[in-house]
C-alpha cells in the first residue's frame, strides 16, 4: 500500500487567519474600552446618576464630587427636589458615603455628614389609603443610614416642625424599620414591624427618665389600637419644647393653662389606652393617673375626629392639696391665696369640648376633713360640696359645714353652715349661719355681683347673749345681761368692710354694769351705767374702713342707787377713731387685753 500525502492549498488557509486577527483586534478594543470605562468610571456613573435624577419625580438635581469603586461610593454634595404624594420635598446633602453589594443589589450603609431637608405636607383626602397601599409593597434595599447633622423643616397645617440633631435609620433583612432622632435634650426612637401593622415610639430624656412610650397596632384597614404610658409633667414639657412638635401646637401648649398645672403633676404617671373600629373616625379610650402607684384619677374618653368633639367622664380621688395644685390655673385668685393643710376630695366630671366652642358639662366635688387657712381665719374638719351643673355658664351650687372656725387666737366659732349658688358673676346666698354668743349671726339671702366691689350684704343678729358678747371682749369692767336682735348692713371688699345704719335692739330686760374708774365730774349717764336695770336698749352703729365709728345708744331703765331708783332714759353717743390694733382685731377676731386697754384710753366719751 502506498501512502499519499495531502496538502492544503495556500488560498484555503487565508480566511482562518483573517478571522483570528479580527477576533484579536475586537478583544483588544473591548479590553481598551473596559480599561477606559474603569478609568473613567466615576464620570460615567456620575453622568448616569445625573441622567436618572433628571427624570420625574426628581427635579433640579445637582451632583458634584462623585467617586465610585466596586463596593463604595462618595459624593461631596447632592441637591435635588422630589414631588411626593404628600407634598414637595427638597434636600441638600453633604459628604455622603455609601457601601454596597452590586451582585446582591443591596446598599449596606449610607453615612451623611450634613443634610438639609425641606418638606411641605399637603394632605389629601385619600392620602392615608395611598400610604397604606404603598407601605404594603415597599421594600427598601438599605440596611443602615446615619445623618450626623440633620436640619429638618416640615410645614404642616398645625405649624412648622423644625428639628436639628442627629438621625439614624436601621432596616433589618425582614424589613423591620427603626428610626432614631436625637437633639441636645431628647431622643425619639420609632420601631415599625415588617408588615407595618405595629409601631412603637419611645421618647427619653438625656438627663435620664422616659418621657413616653407609645405602642400602636393597626389590625386591619379599619381597626386601630394604641397604648400610651408617660410621665405627665415631663410629657407636658416635651410637648411644649420639642422641635418634633408643630410650632402652632407647641406654642398653644406652652401658653395653655394646662402648662400652669404642670408643677402639680410632679411624679404623676399617665396611662392611656385607645382604639378605633372605623379607621380613626371615632376613638374611645381610658385614661389612668397615678402617683407612686397610688390611684389619683380615671377618665373614659370619646373623640369624633371629623369635628374633634371630645367627651370625658372622669373621677378624681385626691387630697385637697393635690386637687388645688392640679386645678390652680382655673381657680379664683382669692382661693389660690388660701392655705390648704388637710382634707380629701372626690370629684366626678362630665365634660364635652370641641374647637372654637366653650367647654360644657357638669362637675361634682365632695371634700372632707378640710383644714384651710386664710389670713387669721382657720377652718378645721370642714366639709365642702360643689355642684357645677352647667360648666359653660359656670353655674355652681355650694354647700359647706364647718364644725370649728378659729378667728384669730382667742375666738372660736362652731358649726358654721353655708349654702349658695354662683351663676358667674352673680352669687346668690341662700343661707350662711354662724352660731355665736348663744345666738346666730346670719347673712340674709341676697344676690350680689362678685366682680363688682364693694359687695352689699346684710348681717342678721338673732338672740345674741349680751353677757357672752361682752365677756368675749376680755374687758372685766363692762358686763351685762340680755338678748340682742338686729341687722347690720355690710359693704365688703376683699380687705375691708363698712357698716352703714346698723341697728340692734334688746328683746328682753337686762342689766348693764360699768365698773371702771370713777371721776368727780362723772355725768349722770355714766353714773346710771354703774348698775343700769334696763327695759329698753337700742344701739345704732356705723363704721368706716379707716377705723372711724359712731354708736348711738338709747337706754331706758333705772339704777336703784341713783335718783332713788326713779326711771331714767338717756341717749349716749360714742364716736371716734378705733386704734389700729382694734381695727385688726375686728377683721381677725383676735381681741386681746392690750387692744381693749387702748380702747379704754381713747374710746370713752
Lowest mean pLDDT among 283-292, 439-448, 538-547: 538-547
What pLDDT is recorded for position 126? 53
Which backbone phi and psi does 216 adopt, to 5 degrees?
-125, 135
What pLDDT is recorded for position 112? 93
User: Quick one: pLDDT band at residue 152, thresholds 50, 70, 90?
Assistant: very high
The C-alpha cell of 75 is what? 459624593
User: Quick one: pLDDT band at residue 583, thresholds 50, 70, 90?
Assistant: very low
What pLDDT is recorded for position 604? 40
Residue bearing the bigger pLDDT, 357 or 145:
145
pLDDT tens by residue, 332-372: 666 767 888 899 999 999 999 888 888 889 999 999 999 98
What pLDDT is recorded for position 48? 64
Lowest mean pLDDT among 166-175, 229-238, 311-320, 519-528: 519-528
How far, in Å, are 151, 160, 214, 234, 373 from residue 185 at the CA level?
16, 20, 19, 12, 41
CB 222 within 8 A of CB 274: no
CB 384 within 8 A of CB 365: yes
What does pTM read for this prediction? 0.69
Q: Please determine, for residue 157, whether its predicted confidence score (pLDDT) is greater than 70.
A: yes
- Burial class from Cβ neighbours inside 10 Å (0-12, 13-18, 19+) for residue 528 reads buried
Q: What angle do CA 127, 130, 135 make, to 5 degrees?
A: 120
What pLDDT is recorded for position 4? 43
Half-sphere exposure of 578 (CA within 13 A, CB side): 20
pLDDT tens by residue, 541-570: 998 888 788 888 899 999 998 888 889 998
Q: Please determine, for residue 127, whether its predicted confidence score (pLDDT) is greater than 50.
A: no
pLDDT tens by residue, 404-439: 888 666 667 788 899 999 887 888 999 999 888 889
pLDDT tens by residue, 19-60: 666 665 566 566 655 555 555 555 666 666 666 666 666 777
pLDDT tens by residue, 107-116: 889 999 999 9
CB burial of 43-71 (b: ≥16 within 10 Å; e: otherwise) equals eeebeebeeebeeeeeeebebeebebeee
What pLDDT is recorded for position 557? 94
Q: How far apart are CA 276 and CA 186, in angstroms?
A: 30
- Burial class from Cβ neighbours inside 10 Å (0-12, 13-18, 19+) for residue 14 reads exposed
What pLDDT is recorded for position 31? 61
Average pLDDT value for the chain:
81
Q: Say what the alpha-carbon torsion angle 252, 257, 260, 266 is, to the nearest 10 degrees.
A: -90
CB 326 within 8 A of CB 358: no
Q: What average pLDDT does the segment 267-293 reach?
A: 91
CB 502 within 8 A of CB 522: no
- Is the bond leading into 57 cis (omega within 30 degrees of zero)? yes
Strand-pair category, 532-543 with 568-577: unpaired
Amino acid at each position: 500500500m502506498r501512502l499519499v500525502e495531502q496538502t492544503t492549498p495556500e488560498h484555503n488557509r487565508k480566511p482562518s487567519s483573517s478571522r483570528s486577527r479580527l477576533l484579536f483586534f475586537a478583544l483588544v478594543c473591548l479590553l481598551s474600552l473596559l480599561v477606559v470605562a474603569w478609568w473613567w468610571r466615576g464620570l460615567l456613573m456620575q453622568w448616569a446618576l445625573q441622567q436618572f435624577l433628571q427624570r420625574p419625580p426628581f427635579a433640579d438635581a445637582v451632583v458634584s464630587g462623585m467617586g465610585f469603586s466596586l463596593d463604595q461610593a462618595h459624593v461631596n454634595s447632592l441637591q435635588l427636589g422630589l414631588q411626593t404624594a404628600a407634598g414637595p420635598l427638597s434636600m441638600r446633602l453633604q459628604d455622603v458615603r455609601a457601601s454596597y453589594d452590586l451582585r446582591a443589589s443591596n446598599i449596606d450603609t449610607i453615612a451623611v455628614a450634613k443634610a438639609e431637608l425641606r418638606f411641605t405636607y399637603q394632605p389629601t383626602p385619600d392620602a392615608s389609603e395611598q400610604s397604606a397601599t404603598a407601605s404594603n409593597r415597599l421594600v427598601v434595599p438599605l440596611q443602615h443610614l446615619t445623618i450626623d447633622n440633620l436640619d429638618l423643616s416640615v410645614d404642616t397645617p398645625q405649624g412648622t416642625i423644625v428639628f436639628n440633631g442627629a438621625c439614624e435609620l436601621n432596616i433589618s433583612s425582614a424589613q423591620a424599620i427603626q428610626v432614631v432622632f436625637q437633639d441636645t435634650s431628647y431622643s425619639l426612637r420609632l420601631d415599625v414591624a415588617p408588615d407595618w401593622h405595629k409601631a412603637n415610639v419611645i421618647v427619653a430624656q438625656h438627663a435620664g427618665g422616659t418621657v413616653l412610650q407609645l405602642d400602636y397596632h393597626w389590625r386591619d384597614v379599619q381597626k386601630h389600637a394604641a397604648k400610651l404610658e408617660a410621665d405627665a409633667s415631663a410629657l407636658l414639657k416635651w410637648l411644649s419644647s420639642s422641635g418634633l412638635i408643630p410650632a402652632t401646637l407647641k406654642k398653644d401648649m406652652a401658653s395653655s393653662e394646662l402648662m400652669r398645672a404642670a408643677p402639680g403633676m410632679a411624679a404623676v404617671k399617665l396611662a392611656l389606652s385607645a382604639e378605633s373600629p372605623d379607621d380613626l373616625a371615632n376613638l374611645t379610650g381610658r385614661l389612668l393617673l397615678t402617683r407612686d402607684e397610688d390611684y389619683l384619677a380615671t377618665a373614659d374618653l370619646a373623640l369624633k375626629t371629623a369635628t374633634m368633639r371630645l367627651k370625658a367622664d372622669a373621677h378624681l380621688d385626691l387630697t385637697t392639696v393635690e386637687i388645688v395644685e392640679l386645678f390652680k390655673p382655673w381657680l379664683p385668685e382669692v382661693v389660690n391665696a388660701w392655705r390648704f393643710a388637710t382634707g380629701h376630695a372626690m370629684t366626678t366630671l362630665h365634660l364635652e369640648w370641641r374647637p372654637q366652642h366653650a367647654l360644657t358639662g357638669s362637675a361634682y366635688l365632695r371634700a372632707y376633713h378640710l383644714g384651710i387657712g386664710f389670713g387669721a381665719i382657720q377652718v378645721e374638719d370642714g366639709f365642702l360640696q360643689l355642684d357645677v351643673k352647667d360648666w359653660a355658664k359656670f353655674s355652681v351650687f355650694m354647700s359647706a359645714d364647718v364644725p370649728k372656725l378659729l378667728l384669730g387666737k382667742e375666738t372660736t366659732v362652731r358649726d358654721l353652715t353655708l349654702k349658695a349658688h354662683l351663676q358667674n358673676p352673680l352669687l346668690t346666698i341662700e343661707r350662711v349661719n354662724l352660731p355665736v354668743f348663744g345666738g346666730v349671726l346670719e347673712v340674709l339671702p341676697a344676690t350680689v355681683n362678685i366682680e363688682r366691689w364693694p359687695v352689699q350684704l346684710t348681717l342678721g343678729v338673732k338672740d345674741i347673749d349680751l353677757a357672752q358678747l361682752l365677756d368675749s371682749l376680755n374687758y372685766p369692767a363692762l358686763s351685762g345681761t340680755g338678748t340682742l336682735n338686729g341687722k347690720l348692713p355690710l359693704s365688703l371688699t376683699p380687705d375691708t368692710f363698712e357698716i352703714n345704719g346698723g341697728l340692734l335692739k334688746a328683746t328682753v330686760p337686762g342689766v348693764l354694769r360699768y365698773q371702771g374708774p370713777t371721776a368727780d365730774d362723772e355725768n349722770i349717764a355714766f353714773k346710771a351705767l354703774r348698775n343700769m336695770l334696763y327695759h329698753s336698749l337700742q344701739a345704732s352703729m356705723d363704721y368706716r374702713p379707716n377705723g372711724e365709728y359712731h354708736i348711738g345708744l338709747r337706754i331706758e331703765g333705772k339704777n336703784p342707787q341713783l335718783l332713788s331708783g326713779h326711771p331714767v332714759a338717756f341717749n349716749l353717743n360714742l364716736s371716734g377713731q378705733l386704734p389700729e390694733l382694734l381695727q385688726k382685731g375686728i377683721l381677725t377676731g383676735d381681741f386681746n387685753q392690750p387692744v381693749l386697754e387702748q380702747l379704754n384710753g381713747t374710746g370713752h366719751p
